[in-house]
Structure 1
Amino acid sequence: MGNLGGILHAVILLLLCAGCVDVARGQTTDPTEVNALKAIRNSLIDPSNKLKNWGRGDPCTSLWTGIFCDKIPSDSYLHIVEIQLFKMNLSGTLAPEVGLLSQLKTLDFMWNNLTGNIPKEVGNITMLKLITLNGNQLSGSLPDEIGYLVNLNRLQIDENKISGPIPKSFANLTSIKHFHMNNNSLSGQIPSELSKLPSLLHLLVDNNNLSGPLPPKLAEAQSLEILQADNNNFSGSSIPAEYSNIRTLLKLSLRNCSLQGAVPDMSGIPKFGYLDVSWNQLKGSIPTNRLASTITTIDLSHNFLDGTIPPNFSGLPNLQLLSVNGNLLNGSVPPTIWSNITFTGNRTLILDFQNNSLDTIPAAFEPPEAVTLLLYGNPVCTTSNAARAANLCQPKSVIGEPSGEGRQVNTLCPPCPTDKNYEYNPASPIPCLCAVPLGVGFRLKSPGIFDFLPYKETFEINLTSLLELRVYQLYIERFMRETGPRLNTHLKLFPNNTPLFNTAEVVRLRQVLAGWQITLSDVFGPYELLNFTLGSYADEFPTVVSSGLKRSALAGILVGTIVAAVAVSVVSTVFIMKKRRKHRTVSRRSLLSRFSIKVDGVKCFTFEEMAGATSDFNISAQVGQGGYGKVYKGTLVDGTAVAIKRAHEDSLQGSKEFCTEIELLSRLHHRNLVSLVGYCDEEDEQMLVYEFMPNGTLRDHLSAKTERPLTFGRRVHIALGAAKGILYLHTEANPPIYHRDVKASNILLDSKFVAKVADFGLSRLAPVPDVEGTLPAHISTVVKGTPGYLDPEYFLTHKLTERSDVYSLGVVLLELLTGMRPIQHGKNIVREVNMAYQSGDISRIIDSRMPSYPPECVTRFLSLAIKCCRDETEARPYMADIVRELETIRGMLPEGEDALSETTGSGLLTKTMSSSSTPTGALYVSSHMSGSGQVDSGIPSGTVAPR
Structure 2
Amino acid sequence: MDGPSNVLLLFIALLSFRSTLEETDSNEVTTLRLLQSQWKGLTWTGVDPCGSKWVGVTCKGSHVADLLLSTMGLQGGLPSEIDQLTGLQRLDLSYNQGLNGPIPSSLGNLKSLRELVLSGCNFNGRIPAELGNLQHLTILDVSSNKLGGEIPPELGNLLNIYLFDIANNQLTGTLPPQLKNLVTAGHLVLDQNRLTGQIPSTVGLLKKLTVLRLDSNELDGPLPNISNLKNLGDMHVSNNKLTGSIPDLSGLTNLQYLDLSNNSFDVSNFPDWFSSLELVTTIMMEHVNLTGPFPSNALNLPQLEAMKLAKNSINGIPSTDIQVSPTLQLLDLEDNELADNKIVEAFVEKLPPNVTVKLMGNPACAEGSSLSNDVPSPCNPAQNIPPYVTPMKDCGKDIKCKKHMQVDPRICKCAMPFEGMFVFRAPSFHNLDNASRFRSLEESLLQNLNLTDGSIYILCCMSFDTDNYLNINVRIFPPPGTNYFHRSEIVKLGYILSIQTPNPLGSYYFLPRWDHDFFEVSEGSKGLSTGAVIGIAAAGAAVALLILALVFYAFKQKKIIAKAKKTSRSFGASLGLASGEYSGDALKLKGARWFSLEELKQATNKFSSENEIGSGGYGKVYKGMLAVGAQMVAIKRAGQESRQGGAEFKTEIELLSRVHHKNLVGLIGFCLEEGERILVYEYMPNGSVRDNLSARTGIQLDWRKRIWIALGSARGLTYLHDHANPPIIHRDVKSSNILLDEHLNAKVADFGISKLLAAIDTEAGGHITSQIKGTMGYLDPEYFMTQQLSQKSDVYSYGVVLLEILTARQPIERGKHLVREVKTEIERGGVNALRRHELLDPVLRDSPVSPTVFESFVCLALRCTEDAATDRPKMSDVVKELESIVESMGPNNQYDDTDMDAGRGVKTMGIAHPLVGGSSSDTFDYSGGYMMLPPIVEPK
TM-score, length-scaled by structure 1: 0.61
- SS of 1:307 mapped into structure 2: strand
Equivalent residue number for residue 375 of structure 1: 359
Inter-partner Cα distance in structure 2 for 1:307 and 1:861: 35
Equivalent residue number for residue 849 of structure 2: none
The structure 1 residue matched to 2:23, chosen from 21, 24, 27, is 27
Q: Equivalent residues in 2 for 1:126-275 (5 A)?
A: 126-235=111-220, 237-240=221-224, 242-275=225-258
Percent identical among aligned pairs is: 20
Equivalent residue number for residue 597 of structure 1: 571
Q: Deviations over 1:597-643 (max 9, x none)?
A: 3695469999xxxxxxxxxxxxxxxxxxxxxxxxxxxxxxxxxxxxx
The structure 1 residue matched to 2:329, chosen from 338, 348, 356, is 348
Asked if structure 2 preserves the Cα contact closer than 8 Å seen for 1:810 and 1:868, the reply is yes
Q: Give the superposition deviation at 1:171.
A: 1.0
Q: Deviations over 1:878-914 (max 9, x none)?
A: 9x97549959x99xx9xxxxxxxxxx9xxxxx99xxx
Equivalent residue number for residue 918 of structure 2: 942
Give the partner amino acid of 2:255.
F
- Does residue 460 of structure 1 match 2:442? yes
- Does residue 96 of structure 1 match 2:80? yes
Structure 1: which 5+ runs fail to align? Answer: 1-16, 427-431, 549-553, 607-646, 680-685, 689-702, 705-714, 747-756, 784-790, 795-800, 816-821, 846-854, 894-903, 905-909, 912-933
- Does residue 51 of structure 1 match 2:18? no
Residues 167 and 563 of structure 1: CA distance in aligned 2, closer, same or farther (over 3 Å): same
Inter-partner Cα distance in structure 2 for 1:442 and 1:233: 28
- SS of 2:437 mapped into structure 1: helix
- SS of 2:59 mapped into structure 1: strand
Equivalent residue number for residue 649 of structure 1: 629
The structure 2 residue matched to 1:806, chosen from 772, 794, 813, is 794
Q: Give the superposition deviation at 1:220.
A: 1.4
Q: Give the superposition deviation at 1:284.
A: 0.5
Q: Deviations over 1:232-274 (max 9, x none)?
A: 2224x2322x123321111122222122233344333222111
Inter-partner Cα distance in structure 2 for 1:605 and 1:379: 47
Inter-partner Cα distance in structure 2 for 1:469 and 1:575: 40
Q: Give the superposition deviation at 1:385.
A: 7.8
- SS of 2:571 mapped into structure 1: coil
Equivalent residue number for residue 505 of structure 2: 524
Equivalent residue number for residue 492 of structure 2: 511
Q: Equivalent residues in 2 for 1:723-802 (5 A)?
A: 723=718, 725-727=720-722, 729=724, 732=727, 764=753, 766=755, 767-768=758-759, 769-777=762-770
Q: Give the superposition deviation at 1:351.
A: 4.0
Q: Deviations over 1:172-201 (max 9, x none)?
A: 112222233222221122233323212322
Give the partner amino acid of 1:22.
R
Q: Deviations over 1:633-683 (max 9, x none)?
A: xxxxxxxxxxxxxx99332768999x9999547985999999x9x99xxxx
Q: Give the superposition deviation at 1:221.
A: 0.8
Q: Deviations over 1:557-594 (max 9, x none)?
A: x9x98433565688899999999999999999764464
Structure 2: which 5+ runs fail to align? Answer: 1-12, 573-585, 594-626, 638-648, 670-679, 683-702, 705-709, 781-788, 809-818, 836-851, 882-886, 890-899, 926-940
The structure 1 residue matched to 2:425, chosen from 446, 452, 463, is 446
Q: Give the superposition deviation at 1:88.
A: 0.8
Inter-partner Cα distance in structure 1 for 2:16 and 2:170: 52
Inter-partner Cα distance in structure 2 for 1:191 and 1:771: 50
Residues 34 and 205 of structure 1: CA distance in aligned 2, closer, same or farther (over 3 Å): same
The structure 1 residue matched to 2:530, chosen from 563, 582, 596, is 563
The structure 2 residue matched to 1:475, chosen from 434, 457, 465, is 457
Q: How many residues align?
A: 746
Q: Give the superposition deviation at 1:868.
A: 3.8
Asked if structure 1 preserves the Cα contact closer than 8 Å seen for 2:71 and 2:490, the reply is no
Residues 736 and 193 of structure 1: CA distance in aligned 2, closer, same or farther (over 3 Å): farther
- SS of 2:272 mapped into structure 1: coil
Inter-partner Cα distance in structure 1 for 2:426 and 2:660: 22
Asked if structure 2 preserves the Cα contact closer than 8 Å seen for 1:201 and 1:225, the reply is yes
Residues 361 and 867 of structure 1: CA distance in aligned 2, closer, same or farther (over 3 Å): closer
The structure 1 residue matched to 2:470, chosen from 479, 487, 491, is 487
Give the partner amino acid of 2:325.
N
Residues 418 and 885 of structure 1: CA distance in aligned 2, closer, same or farther (over 3 Å): closer
Asked if structure 1 preserves the Cα contact closer than 8 Å seen for 2:831 and 2:858, the reply is no
Asked if structure 2 preserves the Cα contact closer than 8 Å seen for 1:179 and 1:204, the reply is yes
Asked if structure 2 preserves the Cα contact closer than 8 Å seen for 1:210 and 1:233, the reply is yes
Equivalent residue number for residue 59 of structure 2: 70
Residues 864 and 323 of structure 1: CA distance in aligned 2, closer, same or farther (over 3 Å): farther
Equivalent residue number for residue 263 of structure 2: 280
Inter-partner Cα distance in structure 1 for 2:729 and 2:801: 27
Residues 93 and 868 of structure 1: CA distance in aligned 2, closer, same or farther (over 3 Å): farther
- SS of 1:219 mapped into structure 2: helix
Q: Equivalent residues in 2 for 1:701-716 (5 A)?
A: none
Residues 739 and 317 of structure 1: CA distance in aligned 2, closer, same or farther (over 3 Å): farther
Give the partner amino acid of 1:377.
G
Q: Give the superposition deviation at 1:330.
A: 1.8
Residues 406 and 860 of structure 1: CA distance in aligned 2, closer, same or farther (over 3 Å): farther
Asked if structure 1 preserves the Cα contact closer than 8 Å seen for 2:207 and 2:228, the reply is no
Asked if structure 2 preserves the Cα contact closer than 8 Å seen for 1:448 and 1:524, the reply is yes
Inter-partner Cα distance in structure 2 for 1:33 and 1:735: 54
Q: Give the superposition deviation at 1:341.
A: 0.5
The structure 1 residue matched to 2:294, chosen from 291, 309, 318, is 309
TM-score, length-scaled by structure 2: 0.62
